[in-house]
Structure 1
Amino acid sequence: MTVRSIRGVAAAALAGTVALAAAACSAPDDGRGGTAGGGKDTAVVGIAYEPETLSPLLGYGKDGNSKIFDGLLTHDAGMHLKPALAAALPEVTDGGKTYTFALRKGVKFSDGQPFTADDVVFTYGTILDEKTNNASKTELDAVDRVEKKDDHTVVFHLKYPYAPFAERTVLPIAPQHIAGKQDVNHGAFTTKPVGTGPYVLTTWSKGEKLAFKANPSYWGGAPKVKHFTMAIIKDDDIRATRLRSGDLDGAILPPNLAATFKDGSDGNAGTGRRTLTAKTFDYRNVTLPTANPVTGDKAVRQALDVAVDREAMVKGILNGAGKPAYGPAPTDSPWFAKGTERPHDLKKAEHILDAAGWKKGGDGIRKKDGRRASFTLWYLSGDKLRQEHALAFASDAKKAGIEAKVESGTWEAIEPNMKHDAVLAGGGSPADPDFDQYLLLHSSLAGDGFNNMSRYGNKTVDGKLVEARRTDDKDQRKAAYDAVQQQLVDDPAYIFLTHIDHLYVIGDRWKNLSTQIEPHDHGLASGPWWNVEDWQPAT
């Protein structure tokens, strides 16, 4: 469900649960042994999740900002595409089926070997290989073949005009001379990557930190932040504590914790911390597995969709830092279908359930044909926002006579139960609606790991998703995605709750900090550190 699929998000979260105790009590270093604020050229930030792999062949960095690697294209602060390893934006011909890229000359990988068209052909060919464990390869379904014209020219031949294809070329390019000599799924490259990017990985202590040093030969210029560490701290409270103690220069925090750092309320007035807000496509939703006789009942799904009080969640859980969610696209997105908002209406929910034969019992929970309207709802332990969303959802559901039994666990505990149990999940992609909605809703991906977790099947939705990805006519695409959202009103696949603004508290030792419109993923690729290679010293 993610610009990342939820498979990638869940894998990252699973990896982030490892060695939490070590992360909580061990101060991260900057690659040289220093701590936050210990050097003018050093920065240490706290993030919630870490990747399962650092290989772009397996999905790492596919949406850009990977730090170790570059794509052919990248995004600027406004999420507009611009050249990276390509010398210019692609030339598009043949009715949108041929993309020709002229490559930047003189670029080298961090081991000193030259970057050429061979690396591009190798990267895309390997990702599309059926033996490669890349959960998002469906996003490259349109690619027929990748052709090397010469060392500095690559041509992509598509099977059909795929509107967001250029957005897919932000995915990182791997070196054929290294990755091509290893097992793609398990080789050393997955944890010891070599790329063309602004940073070189120096240490990856799983569950604790990733440490980087600046690439002095970076084609875009050597970064001013010479040593950069990402501390993996899954627990929100611990991340806030370490930021307050000065162990971190910056961190992502949920709204209630970010608020404690405002106006010196953290007890450190004058320390120069500030809060940056990033607008996002990041949503929280509840999966409704069709294999469960309760959540698979259309009337139950419809009732839950109007029983939840989204406005109250935005106000009470997010402190206003977000908006109600009615589908994958935020209400202020040009891709949102106006008129598909579902206001909180408990009486309507009760009417739907009554009409469908779900009658309240003596304990207030409904029954139909002897079956109680009860199911388990999992959330990721340590994630306060998911916990609070899960509890609020359960409270609203109970008012309608439906019992959601809330449980917490790691992804290791949750995944085996996803076929029958609901999950407080997340996703969202600002780059293009195809990247999120196809993985989230298409029936061909039902039960495919963390794709289509509800195992939703709707022929109209399937058809519109395919129609939208196979045309580059924006009006036709908008109409198709509107139709998908309208279908979700009558036949909910998930209960969408909120879209969440990401809040970052960070010191002011550096300038040129900004945020982009962000996807669900808020780890290595997002936050004020999306452009850490461009940071400048404040003094």
Structure 2
Amino acid sequence: MNAHPLFPQMTRRRLLVSALLGAGCMSLPLEAAWALEGTRGGAANLAMIGEPQSLDPMATPTDLVGTVMQHVYEPLYTFDAQWNIQPMLAEAMPAISDDGKVYSIALRRGVKFHNGKDMGADDVVASLRRWMEVSARGKAVGQVVAGIAAKGPLAVEIQLKTLYAPLLAHLAMPSGMAGVMPKESIASPLTEIVGTGPYRLKERKPDQYTVLARFDQYAARSEPASGYAGKREALLDELRFVPVPNATTRLEGVLAGQFHYADLLQVESMGRLDKAGPAVVPILTKNFGFPYIVFNTKEGVLASQAMRQAVQTAMGEAEMLQAGFGDKRFFIAEPNFFPKGTPYYSDAGADLYNQKNPKLAKEQAAKAGYKAEPVRIMVSRQYEFHYNMALVMAEHLKRAGFKTDLMVVDWATLVQRRNDPKLWDVYVTHSGQFPEPMLSPPQLGDGAPGWWDTDAKKAALAAFNSEPDVTKRGPLWGKVQELVYHEVPFVEVGRFNGLSARSASLQGYTPAIWPFFWNTSLAAR
């Protein structure tokens, strides 16, 4: 095994560890990852669930791409630790007209792109226009945007066709990000990866690593760090994102000291982590997100609403969560999409959750004209809980008389294939739990895989999105939730906590849905 020129030669012990860990880790740097100084320098080895499908922050809504590229690109707004929206590249929160349809945004002065150019209003306008053309999230926002224009070198104005309460939340999302890039770099696909973030792209070798290096001209905000908001400082010289699709390999790597961080581990790993001693720290991220099952409403056996209702009747979400997470500390089976105490808690449609009624499901399928066509369930084992839930779902469907075809692919393939309605009937995924309902799942918008598009959906979402008062939006969300249970574009299985792990030497890390590594450092060896 030859060391990469960026990385010094491994010691014999670490070579043996690497060999034991197997494929996918063989080019990983080791010794250089330790900082000689405790607060600045060194490189962190970060084991991720796979290879990012793209380095274009707008091209896909997947969490993996958002996690990596949020270090390179930045949006106008972001979220603080309490999920409040805060300015990032914007100077402050926008001035909003009395009718709520015009947002005037002042931009920060002195923000530099990685190519040395100062960010200006023309760059922001060009970036937002591209976002509305390329990103599924941006396309949904674009339907309510009447125009975007520069109003001076550091001022942008967004005009809306109608009131749209989720606008700033969409602009703040790391996944499918409305990241700002130099207008001259804009292309489809991107050929230059140039942002404003604390790290810049240094090197990428597909299926081996993506290396980000500190951007020395980064213009940090002055406010204290809070969640994704406030001051971001690149204390580490490099971030090395390594695709490690096997969760057990990620676990063994962090236990062996090969990785400073291992993302999304299996729940069963908690026992090993508890016994690992002080060198490895388990990370339990509460209310991390929700798994959900997307249905193809456009083509195939489940294009019929009645057929989707039959499948929903057959499913037992509680058993699926048990299979996916095992330990009840890691999941909760509830029909409400948002927990009690939040503005969007609702029990609408609760009687259709966790039915697990194969007899009724079989009757419903027969009335819908089911002719024993296989239900194609697409899933990836890179998220092991997706796969385990899919196995249980398939069994539930078989008990109700459905034929099933479990199609197991890698995550990158799933993301690609889900865009073709001829290739699948169901796929398994998950989302982070966000404070704004329109942020996820993307099926609430337009054009996302699943292609849910009905008059009832349009009416319910129009009423919800045009109401800025959160106390009034709550009941309106209940109507949307009830519609999801009735039309079944997707099934939200429940909620879960996330498990990851870090080396104790990785300091300053804050648990987050999209892990970030600015403001982190490595302890002196």
Q: 1:161 aligns with which of 156, 160, 163?
A: 163
Residue correspondence of structure 1 range 187-206 to structure 2 within 5 A: 187-189=190-192, 193-206=193-206
Asked if the contact 2:24–2:243 (Cα under 8 Å) also holds between the matched residues in 1, the reply is: no
Q: 1:486 aligns with which of 482, 486, 503?
A: 482
Q: Distance in 2 between matches of 1:258 and 1:44?
A: 20
Give secondary structure in 1 for the equivalent of 2:488.
coil
Aligned length: 473
Q: Displacement of 1:398 after TM fit? A: 2.3
Q: Distance in 2 between matches of 1:433 and 1:254?
A: 27
Q: Provide, for residues 469-490 of structure 1, a one-character-per-residue CA deviation record: whole Å limited to 9, x for no partner.
A: 2332334433332112112333
Alignment identity in percent? Answer: 18
Distance 1:535 1:165, change over 3 A: same
Distance 1:483 1:25, change over 3 A: same
Asked if the contact 2:197–2:215 (Cα under 8 Å) also holds between the matched residues in 1, the reply is: yes
In the other structure, the counterpart of 1:179 is 185
Asked if the contact 1:202–1:213 (Cα under 8 Å) also holds between the matched residues in 2, the reply is: yes
Residue correspondence of structure 1 range 71-86 to structure 2 within 5 A: 71-86=75-90
Q: Displacement of 1:325 after TM fit? A: 6.0
Q: Displacement of 1:286 after TM fit? A: 4.6
In the other structure, the counterpart of 2:443 is 440
TM-score, structure 2 as length reference: 0.80
Residue correspondence of structure 1 range 467-478 to structure 2 within 5 A: 467-478=463-474
Residue correspondence of structure 1 range 248-267 to structure 2 within 5 A: 248-264=259-275
Q: Distance in 2 between matches of 1:304 and 1:187?
A: 40
Q: Distance in 2 between matches of 1:278 and 1:236?
A: 20
Give secondary structure in 2 for the equivalent of 1:94.
coil
Q: Which moved more, 1:85-94 or 1:419-428?
A: 419-428
Give secondary structure in 2 for the equivalent of 1:202.
strand
Asked if the contact 1:427–1:436 (Cα under 8 Å) also holds between the matched residues in 2, the reply is: no
In the other structure, the counterpart of 1:396 is 396
Q: 1:313 aligns with which of 309, 316, 320?
A: 320
In the other structure, the counterpart of 2:458 is 462
In the other structure, the counterpart of 2:219 is 219
Distance 1:147 1:431, change over 3 A: farther
The one-letter code of the counterpart of 2:279 is: T
Asked if the contact 1:48–1:233 (Cα under 8 Å) also holds between the matched residues in 2, the reply is: yes
Confirm whether residue 243 of structure 1 aligns to residue 228 of structure 2: no
Asked if the contact 1:284–1:499 (Cα under 8 Å) also holds between the matched residues in 2, the reply is: no
Distance 1:500 1:134, change over 3 A: same
Q: Displacement of 1:281 after TM fit? A: 3.1
Q: Provide, for residues 220-272 of structure 1, a one-character-per-residue CA deviation record: whole Å limited to 9, x for no partner.
A: 164222221111122222222322332111111333343243222xxx43424
Distance 1:67 1:370, change over 3 A: closer
Asked if the contact 1:86–1:103 (Cα under 8 Å) also holds between the matched residues in 2, the reply is: yes
Distance 1:90 1:289, change over 3 A: closer
Q: Distance in 1 between matches of 2:334 and 2:68?
A: 25
Confirm whether residue 378 of structure 1 aligns to residue 378 of structure 2: yes
Asked if the contact 1:118–1:148 (Cα under 8 Å) also holds between the matched residues in 2, the reply is: yes
In the other structure, the counterpart of 1:143 is 145
Asked if the contact 1:380–1:387 (Cα under 8 Å) also holds between the matched residues in 2, the reply is: yes
In the other structure, the counterpart of 1:302 is 309
Q: Distance in 2 between matches of 1:533 and 1:441?
A: 32
Q: Distance in 1 between matches of 2:303 and 2:112?
A: 53
The one-letter code of the counterpart of 2:272 is: F
Q: Distance in 1 between matches of 2:395 and 2:388?
A: 11
Q: Provide, for residues 282-311 of structure 1, a one-character-per-residue CA deviation record: whole Å limited to 9, x for no partner.
A: 323152545334x34545433432432222
Q: Distance in 2 between matches of 1:188 and 1:314?
A: 41
Q: Displacement of 1:339 after TM fit? A: 4.1
Distance 1:161 1:46, change over 3 A: same
Q: Distance in 1 between matches of 2:370 and 2:460?
A: 38
The one-letter code of the counterpart of 2:322 is: K
Gaps in structure 2 of 5+ consecutive residues:
1-20, 173-177, 221-231
Asked if the contact 1:281–1:428 (Cα under 8 Å) also holds between the matched residues in 2, the reply is: yes
Q: Distance in 2 between matches of 1:355 and 1:83?
A: 50
The one-letter code of the counterpart of 2:27 is: A
Distance 1:245 1:62, change over 3 A: closer
Q: Distance in 2 between matches of 1:215 and 1:435?
A: 30
Asked if the contact 2:46–2:240 (Cα under 8 Å) also holds between the matched residues in 1, the reply is: yes
Q: Distance in 2 between matches of 1:245 and 1:50?
A: 22
Q: Displacement of 1:412 after TM fit? A: 4.0
Residue correspondence of structure 1 range 502-521 to structure 2 within 5 A: 502-516=498-512, 518=513
Distance 1:355 1:63, change over 3 A: closer
The one-letter code of the counterpart of 1:397 is: L
Q: 1:291 aligns with which of 290, 293, 299?
A: 299
The one-letter code of the counterpart of 1:471 is: E
Give secondary structure in 1 for the equivalent of 2:112.
coil
TM-score, structure 1 as length reference: 0.78
Distance 1:95 1:407, change over 3 A: same
The one-letter code of the counterpart of 1:354 is: E
Asked if the contact 1:43–1:249 (Cα under 8 Å) also holds between the matched residues in 2, the reply is: yes
Q: Distance in 2 between matches of 1:354 and 1:393?
A: 18
Give secondary structure in 2 for the equivalent of 1:136.
helix
Q: Displacement of 1:374 after TM fit? A: 4.0
Give secondary structure in 2 for the equivalent of 1:247.
coil
Distance 1:352 1:172, change over 3 A: closer
Asked if the contact 1:510–1:538 (Cα under 8 Å) also holds between the matched residues in 2, the reply is: yes
Q: Displacement of 1:498 after TM fit? A: 3.4
Q: 1:428 aligns with which of 415, 428, 431?
A: 431
Q: Displacement of 1:463 after TM fit? A: 1.4
Confirm whether residue 353 of structure 1 aligns to residue 359 of structure 2: no
Asked if the contact 1:56–1:174 (Cα under 8 Å) also holds between the matched residues in 2, the reply is: no
Q: Distance in 1 between matches of 2:465 and 2:103?
A: 16
The one-letter code of the counterpart of 2:493 is: L
Give secondary structure in 2 for the equivalent of 1:338.
coil
Give secondary structure in 2 for the equivalent of 1:533.
coil
Q: Displacement of 1:185 after TM fit? A: 0.8
Q: RMSD of the TM alignment (CA)?
A: 3.2
Q: Displacement of 1:210 after TM fit? A: 1.2
Asked if the contact 1:23–1:208 (Cα under 8 Å) also holds between the matched residues in 2, the reply is: no
Q: Distance in 1 between matches of 2:256 and 2:475?
A: 51
The one-letter code of the counterpart of 1:323 is: I
The one-letter code of the counterpart of 2:81 is: A
Q: Displacement of 1:416 after TM fit? A: 7.9
Q: Distance in 2 between matches of 1:533 and 1:284?
A: 30
Distance 1:404 1:96, change over 3 A: same
Q: Displacement of 1:387 after TM fit? A: 1.4
In the other structure, the counterpart of 2:346 is 337
In the other structure, the counterpart of 1:99 is 103
Q: Displacement of 1:211 after TM fit? A: 1.0
Asked if the contact 1:59–1:136 (Cα under 8 Å) also holds between the matched residues in 2, the reply is: no
Q: Distance in 2 between matches of 1:473 and 1:48?
A: 39
In the other structure, the counterpart of 1:269 is 277
Residue correspondence of structure 1 range 3-14 to structure 2 within 5 A: none
Q: Displacement of 1:385 after TM fit? A: 1.6
